[in-house]
Every structure is written in C-alpha cells, then in structure tokens.
Amino acid sequence: MTLEQQLSVLVKAAVKALYNVDAEDGQIQLQKTRPEFEGNITLVVFPFVKLARKAPAQVAEEIGHWILDNGQGLVAKYNAVQGFLNLVIDDAFWVKQLEAIDSEANYGQQPSRDKLMMVEYSSPNTNKPLHLGHVRNNLLGYSIAKIQEANGWKVVKTNIVNDRGIHICKSMLAWLKFGNGETPETSGKKGDHLIGDYYVRFDKEYKAQIAELMAKGMDEETAKREAPLMLEAQEMLRKWEANDPEVRSLWEKMNSWVYAGFDETYQRMGVSFDKIYYESNTYLEGKSEVEKGLASGAFYRREDGSVWADLTKDGLDEKLLLRSDGTSVYMTQDIGTAKLRFQDYPIDKMVYVVGNEQEYHFKVLSILLDRLGFPFGKELVHFSYGMVELPNGKMKSREGTVVDADDLMDKMVEDAKEISKDKVNTLQGITEDEANEIARKVGLGALKYFILKVDPRKNMLFNPAESIDFNGNTGPFIQYTYARIQSVLRKAAGLEPEQAGHAVSTLDPKELALIQRLCEYPAIVRNAGDNFSPAVICNYAYDLACDFNSFYHDLSILNEKDEQKRALRLLLAKNVAKVLASSMSLLGIEMPERM
C-alpha cells in the first residue's frame, strides 16, 4: 500500500471518528508539502470544513491530532496552517520503503495490461542516408516503445520504409546517367551514402536544366515540369508501377545497398524493430481501398482521371489519392499500410512517431480510414514532435546540407574520447578496447540524452558541444554518477547493504531526500507513458543524480563508523544506481561501469 493510500485510510477513519461522516475518495486531496513548511505530504482540509462546521485551522488541528494518536507511528508530527495539514512521515516508514524498493528487481515497471500498442518510427526514404532529423525520430520512437513496455503494454516496434516513388526514381536515374557502374564496394562508401550522393546529383543537374529552359524564355513553373530529367524520372516511376523488369532490377539492387547501410546505422544507434513494412508492398492495398471508396461514393474522379477525397465538410480541403496516370501518393500507401497492420496484429493503440510537419497528413489519414469503414480510423495517435534545427537553419536533403547520422555518431564518440581521456587514464589496468567502449557509451549517451531531454513537441537546436559536458543536465553527468556509485560498491565488497534495518532511527535530510526521490519513480514512469514524453524520464534521472551527488558530498559512506548508517547508505547508493540504470535504459542509454 502506497503512502497516499495509507494516509487516505487514516483520514477517512479520522473524519468518521471526529465528525461521524463517511469521507469520499474525491474529498481526500493529498499533495507534496511546499518547501517553506515542515512536512512531507499535505492534506487539504477544506472539503471537510462544512461537514465539521468548524474553522479550517481547527479542522486541520483535530485531524492531525487524531492521526498522530491513531496512525501506528506512520506520522511523526504535524503542523496546521489554515486549511492545510502538513504531515511529517516517520523515518521508519522511509527505511521500509527503501527496503521494498531494493526487493523489487523491476522496480518502477507496471503490471501487464494485456493490450498491444504498435509504435511506428524511422520511416526512412531509400534515396538518402539517415540524418539528424531521423536520429531524433528514431530515439523518440524507441524510447516511447520502451516506456510503454514499462507501463505494461505489449509493444510492437515497426518501421515503414519509403522504398518507392518519384524521389527513389531520382536517385536511380542519376546513378544510371552519371554513376559509371559505381558500387559501395568500388566507392568505399556505405550504400545509403552512395545513393544519397546521387539524389543530390539529380537535384544539381535538374536545377541546371531549369535554369537553361528559363534562359530560353520559359517561365519557372513550366521549366520545372518540362525539364528532361524530371520527365524521365516520372516515366521511370510509371515503368516501376508497371513492373518493368529492367527498372525493377535496378531498384532492387540499389535498395539492397541502402538497406545494408540502414541496418549498420540502426545497430550502432541502438534501435531495433519487430516488424518492417515496405511501401512497395503496401501501396497496392491502398490503391485497392481507394478504388472501393470510389465505387461506394466516398471519393470521386476528376476529368483528368485523378481520384480525390472531398474533406471540406470536415473543415479541411480536397485530398489527392491517385494521380491522373494512376500512380499512388503517400496517403494511398498509408491507407494500405494501416490496413495490413491491423490484419497482422490485434492492435489496441496505433502510434505514429512523425514530425509536426505532417500533422495535416495524419488528420486526413484518420478521416479517410474512418470513411472507408475501418473501426480503428479515429483511434490513431499521431505523436507529433518538433524539428531539429542547426545554428544555420533547417537541413535540406536535396542540397546535401544535412547532418549525417553516421558522421554525427562518429563525432560524438570522438569528442567523448577526447574529453574523457584524462579521466580514463586514471583508471588502473584499463585496456584500449575498454577505453573505446567507454567512449562509445558516453558519446552516444550524450547524443541521446541531449535530444530526448527536450520536450518532444518543441523544436530544438542541436549543439554537440553542450551535450558532451560532464557537468550539468547531460547524459555523461548521469553516467558518471552511476559509475561513481559502482566504484563505491566495489570498494564496499564484503559489506552487506541488505542488512540495513529499523535500528536507524533518524535519517539525515540528504538521505531522506534520496529515498523520497526513489519513491517517485513508478509515478514518473506512468507520467512519461501517459504523455509519451521521454523528457519526463530525463528530468527525473538528472534530479536523482543531483540528489545523490549532494548526498555523496555531505555524507560519508565507506568511512561511516556506525555500521547501521553505513549499511543504509550503501543500500541507498545501490538502489540509486539501479533506478538510474533503469531510467536511462528507457532512453536507450547504456551505463558504463567505470569512467
């Protein structure tokens, strides 16, 4: 039974005994005591004032006195301030709470709710490598999945690969025209990087053609439509959808290069998927559903042959579903993907982790699925997150001005290696491989924490130098706190922290603050799950690390002569480390044992 539950029982008993009234759950309001008052938890007594027919201060005093006399030692003392009863919980209760936390291997995790949530993230295009924007997407998606698992959900992590469409044809066409048979092996590049180079090359050549046509007197919009490269790319897309063997063969070869590159990046980033869908397999399902909607009158066909949905009655506009040449658009593909997913899994909640630039898209998708008769249409959740910006503005893939994910991870690990060099050199007997592994964990931990600590719904400015700092609200600071605790526990070998018991009669304020912080962890995990916010976990882990460092600075652990106090502090340190590791694992961050 939680502290709040125990106090609720006592308050009900007090109100019944004092005023002969049965208090309802909704009347019992408990909150954390404000810092300027003595106490751990405060009861708001105003709901009982009318029942008691007495002044608020008197009601608070009477309830406090009754709880002190009848609470079996739970409350050590109290003070009444107007209509607020501030309760000081006895130290013995907090020691028991610490021992209970220690006994739970999976402390903080909620019981299984036997419901399935599918979380979609990543959604890369096979015409370019993953960049900084994808990094935020992947880290958010993976962390959300881990947090929801901790909240009792069965989670399927899924990815939809955009492996078809005009953008793919642009890379393919550029490779045919300018590649001279170049491969990842001959170029020494990862496959996704190689294909991304040709996507940029297409844009460069395409812009040159537009400029040439405009110089001959053509207006810009017409030049964009009539540029030979764009016409060839559109023709290639038509051939692809017609299953042209030559185009399909080239597509399969180039995509295989990209997938190998993606897998390497995902593995290094520490994210994974339970199921991967490919738009090349789902778009036909979408087209089929659009045709059914056309037959039922849900959609309509224009004179040029294109198919549209009229959403003006829903406060939106008209949405293209099939082009005049019969080719599909993203919306069509997403309809097909959603249908297949709900066929494959008994999904209770479908969550799309996609940037806020696509909010309109998912509003439309939800309406269209509902219009097509799918019962899950209105229940889709678009987890809309903000963009990652650089000091010099937004990234643009076509212009090659993105921060490559692989390059970014390389840089973070190298920075961690350089910054931690002096610290690592102080560790006796450490090998170069071990030092490199520490740098990897610290570098990637810095990257992940810096991105995840920001409210996901806000745009963020990425600053690598700030993220790698060993002080302040950073991943390395929390990792270093964990490693410090592990060092203490190694030195304490032979001492048994589990033997801490009720003989510790008085807790130091720093000990009490740490135990209370540990007690908050299950509620923090629930909060992060309810709000789909890894930032909640980040803020908690940082506060816990700060509390421990303050405790460590002021109180001795290994040199404490009182055996019971030493045992309690070791038990406290052990469980701070456990909860730090647990919370950081929900962010996909590994914890080094030594730093």
Q: Could you tell me which residues come within 8 angstroms of residue 573 by beta carbon, excluding any fewer than 6 positions away?
A: 485, 488, 489, 497, 548, 557
Read off the amino acid at residue 568: L
Q: Nearest to residue 439, comparing CAs of 455, 459, 423?
A: 423
Q: Do 69 and 187 sit in the same domain of this protein?
A: no
Q: Could you tell me which residues come within 8 angstroms of residue 144 by beta carbon, excluding any fewer than 6 positions away?
A: 119, 121, 351, 353, 383, 532, 534
Query: What span, in angstroms and rounded, lies between the C-alpha atoms of 551 and 571?
Result: 13
**What sign has the CA pseudo-torsion 69, 70, 72, 76?**
negative
**How many structural domains compose the chain?**
3
Q: What pLDDT sits at residue 496?
A: 59
Q: Alpha helices, DSSP H only, in 156-296? A: 166-178, 184-187, 191-215, 220-226, 228-241, 245-269, 279-296
Query: What span, in angstroms and rounded, lies between the C-alpha atoms of 442 and 469?
Result: 10
Q: How many CA atoms lie within 13 A of 471 on its CB side?
A: 0
Q: Do 8 and 79 sit in the same domain of this protein?
A: yes
DSSP string for residues in 442-493: HHHHHHHHHHHTS-TTS-EE--HHHHT-SSSSSHHHHHHHHHHHHHHHHHTT
Query: What span, in angstroms and rounded, lies between the C-alpha atoms of 528 and 585?
Result: 14
Q: Using an 8 Å Cβ cutoff, are 470 and 416 in contact? A: no
Q: What pLDDT sits at residue 521?
A: 97
Q: Is residue 107 part of a domain?
A: no
Query: What span, in angstroms and rounded, lies between the C-alpha atoms of 548 and 517?
Result: 10
Q: How far is CA 206 from CA 228, 231, 349, 454, in A?
A: 8, 11, 43, 38
Does residue 35 sit in helix, strand or coil? coil
Q: Do 144 and 58 sit in the same domain of this protein?
A: no
**Tell me: the pLDDT tens digits for 368-404?**
999 999 988 888 999 999 988 766 544 444 444 578 9
Q: Do 317 and 412 sit in the same domain of this protein?
A: no
Q: Do 331 and 189 sit in the same domain of this protein?
A: yes
Q: Is residue 302 part of a domain?
A: yes
Q: Is residue 113 part of a domain?
A: no
Query: What span, in angstroms and rounded, lies between the C-alpha atoms of 570 and 284?
Result: 61
Q: Nearest to residue 9, comparing CAs of 60, 22, 20?
A: 22
**E strand or H helix at 349:** strand 349-355
Write down which residue in 36, 68, 89 finishes a domain: 89
Write down which residue in 359, 389, 419 finishes a domain: 389
Q: Is residue 97 part of a domain?
A: no
Q: Is residue 102 part of a domain?
A: no
Q: Do 139 and 22 sit in the same domain of this protein?
A: no
Give the residue numbers spanning the domain of 266. 121-389
Q: Is residue 114 part of a domain?
A: no
Beta partners for residue 42, in sequence order: 31, 86
Q: Do 163 and 291 sit in the same domain of this protein?
A: yes
Q: What pLDDT sits at residue 423?
A: 59
Q: What pLDDT sits at residue 548?
A: 98
Q: Do 191 and 231 sit in the same domain of this protein?
A: yes
**What sign has the CA pseudo-torsion 472, 473, 475, 478?**
positive
Query: What span, in angstroms and rounded, lies between the C-alpha atoms of 442 and 170?
Result: 38
Q: What pLDDT sits at residue 422?
A: 61
**Tell me: the pLDDT tens digits for 6-25?**
999 999 999 999 999 999 99
Q: Do 75 and 128 sit in the same domain of this protein?
A: no
**E strand or H helix at 81:** strand 75-81
Neighbours of 363 (CB within 10 A): 16
Q: Is residue 170 part of a domain?
A: yes
Per DSSP, 1 falls in state -
Q: Alpha helices, DSSP H only, in 37-90? A: 46-52, 56-70
Q: How far is CA 454 from CA 239, 359, 523, 537, in A?
A: 45, 20, 20, 11
Q: What pLDDT sits at residue 399?
A: 47
DSSP string for residues in 220-251: HHHHHHH-HHHHHHHHHHHHHHTT-HHHHHHH
Q: Nearest to residue 189, comparing CAs of 264, 138, 132?
A: 264
Query: Which region, left, alpha or beta, applies to residue 278 given φ > 0 means left and ψ of -120 to 50 means alpha?
Result: beta
Does residue 320 sit in helix, strand or coil? strand
Q: Do 133 and 204 sit in the same domain of this protein?
A: yes
Q: Do 305 and 439 sit in the same domain of this protein?
A: no
Q: Is residue 420 part of a domain?
A: yes
With a cut of 50, which residues of the chain have pLDDT below it? 393-400, 424-425, 497, 499-502
Q: Give me the CATH number covering residue 381.
A: 3.40.50.620
Q: Do 232 and 321 sit in the same domain of this protein?
A: yes
Q: Give me the CATH number covering residue 504.
A: 1.10.730.10
Write down which residue in 38, 69, 89 finishes a domain: 89
Token pair for 267: 């593995």
